[in-house]
């Protein structure tokens, strides 16, 4: 199955970002991608955290969801919409950071609300996602019947989730053989941890990892690390884009995955929950 991870340098304008996302999805589809994954906050990296509240949408409604649904149908691809802000009943000051999945007929097939919320303070940079976001609670997988004849079980995660291996163990126990990690890693943390963590999640679960990222300097002055990557189940780098907008394409091979898991049946050797 050919997959595409889209790297963006999202702006503070939703409509501009949607145009860019559609362009890269179309480019990926033209190059044979069956699954296209956008980065975290693809629709908006605002000048302040509360800008997310201005473009939030109810589940199943709104221009962002409608655009990606139509784009999936138009290009006959599976689309994972990075993340977008989704309304919370009776709480106007917070949103969920949500990853939606659309099938090639435009149908929404899965929703994942980011579980782990980023917090960081080194005296120079400070981030606290909990000021505007509420966390989700439920690990989510979905099945993608590929034209390669294999039904891929795909585990959803977002950015900071990458630091919590227990989430991926749960997804693996549910049968996931491919993990998605749409992200907007900071430059400071990304340069030392991003690649190491992606490879670790792939190796310890003998699974593919597809990690689209934000990669550049944004309207708010923040610089994201980028390095959108696709990693194989042996920890091999299948493709990477360091900085700037673009796509990374790679083939995920079900036979290779099966062989790796037969040669090193580590998932069967686990004894602790």
Burial class (CB in 10 A: 0-12, 13-18, 19+), 226: buried
Active site residue 40: yes
Among 34, 56, 114, 240, the one annotated catalytic = 114
Among 40, 57, 129, 240, the one annotated catalytic = 40
Among 43, 71, 159, 252, the one annotated catalytic = 159
Active site residue 159: yes
Q: Edge to edge, what strands does the sheet with 208-211 contain?
A: 141-145, 151-156, 178-180, 208-211, 228-231, 237-241
- Between CA 182 and CA 194 the distance in angstroms is 12
Note the CATH architecture for domain 2-268: 4-Layer Sandwich (3.60)
Active site residue 43: no
Q: Is the pTM of this model over 0.85?
A: yes
Per-residue pLDDT in tens (0 to 9) along the chain, 273 residues: 999 999 999 999 999 999 999 999 999 999 999 999 999 999 999 999 999 999 999 999 999 999 999 999 999 999 999 999 999 998 999 999 999 999 999 999 999 999 999 999 999 999 999 999 999 999 999 999 999 999 999 999 999 999 999 999 999 999 999 999 999 999 999 999 999 999 999 999 999 999 999 999 999 999 999 999 999 999 999 999 999 999 999 999 999 999 999 999 999 999 988
């Amino acid at each position: 199955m050919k997959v595409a991870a889209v790297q963006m340098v999202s702006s503070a304008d939703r409509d501009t970002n949607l145009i860019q996302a559609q362009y890269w999805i179309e480019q990926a589809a033209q190059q044979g991608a069956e699954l296209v994954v956008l980065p975290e906050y693809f629709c908006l990296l605002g000048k302040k955290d509360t800008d997310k509240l201005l473009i939030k949408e109810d589940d199943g409604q709104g221009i962002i969801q409608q655009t990606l649904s139509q784009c999936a149908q138009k290009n006959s691809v599976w689309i994972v919409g990075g993340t977008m802000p989704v309304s919370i009943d009776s709480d106007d000051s917070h949103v969920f950071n949500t990853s939606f999945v659309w099938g090639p007929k435009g149908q929404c097939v899965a929703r994942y609300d980011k579980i782990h919320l980023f917090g960081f303070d080194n005296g120079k940079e400070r981030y606290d996602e909990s000021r505007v976001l509420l966390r989700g609670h439920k690990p989510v997988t979905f099945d993608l019947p590929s034209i390669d004849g294999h039904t891929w079980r795909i585990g959803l995660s977002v950015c900071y989730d990458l630091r919590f291996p227990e989430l991926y163990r749960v997804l693996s126990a549910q049968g996931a053989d491919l993990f998605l990690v749409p992200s907007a890693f900071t430059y400071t943390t990304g340069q030392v941890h991003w690649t190491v963590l992606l490879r670790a999640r792939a190796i310890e679960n003998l699974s593919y990892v597809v990690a689209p990222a934000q990669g550049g300097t944004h309207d708010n002055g923040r610089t994201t690390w980028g390095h959108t990557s696709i990693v194989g189940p042996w920890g091999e780098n299948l493709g990477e884009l360091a900085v700037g907008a673009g796509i990374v394409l790679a083939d995920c091979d079900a036979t290779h995955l099966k062989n790796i898991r037969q040669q090193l049946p580590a998932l069967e050797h686990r004894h602790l929950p």
